[in-house]
Amino acid sequence: MRAVKKIELPVSRFPLSFLENFRKISINSKKYAHTFSMIKPTKKISDVKQMVKSCASSRVAVRVNLGRNKSVSYQGVLSGVYPALFTVKPDDKDFLGKTAYSYSDVLCGNVKIKRL
């Protein structure tokens, strides 16, 4: 049986002082008296599911980011809530059928829902 050689890998390419300072980076604005963090606060997917369930069978405004500075906004009824996705039936006559979105789209900010 061969002896296994233990290799120690560096934890990070950056020095520890850089990482400590990176965690402390914030922009202090005396003009607005706010402290802004550089890291986007994130929600949990369970929070997103709960928010969508609370809007079930009600009118909502939906804004979808299609990428490359394109977006679509419409109003409709949140018609179905499922374990992996939810569906919205648009009020506009231009849209045919329903549109389905996953909860991760809302979590990432590609889809924004607002209850009317």
Question: What residue segments make up the domains of the chain, in order of their start?
Answer: 45-115
Q: What is the DSSP string of 6-35?
A: P-PPPS-SS-HHHHHHHHH-EEEETTTTEE
> Coil, helix or strand for 59?
strand
The Cα–Cα gap between 47 and 70 comes to 27
pLDDT per residue as tens digits for the range 33-84? 555 566 667 789 999 999 999 999 999 999 999 999 999 999 999 999 999 9
| Cross-strand bridge partners of residue 26 | 37
Give the CATH fold of the 45-115 domain. Answer: SH3 type barrels. (2.30.30)
pLDDT per residue as tens digits for the range 2-14? 666 655 555 555 5
The predicted model scores a pTM of 0.64
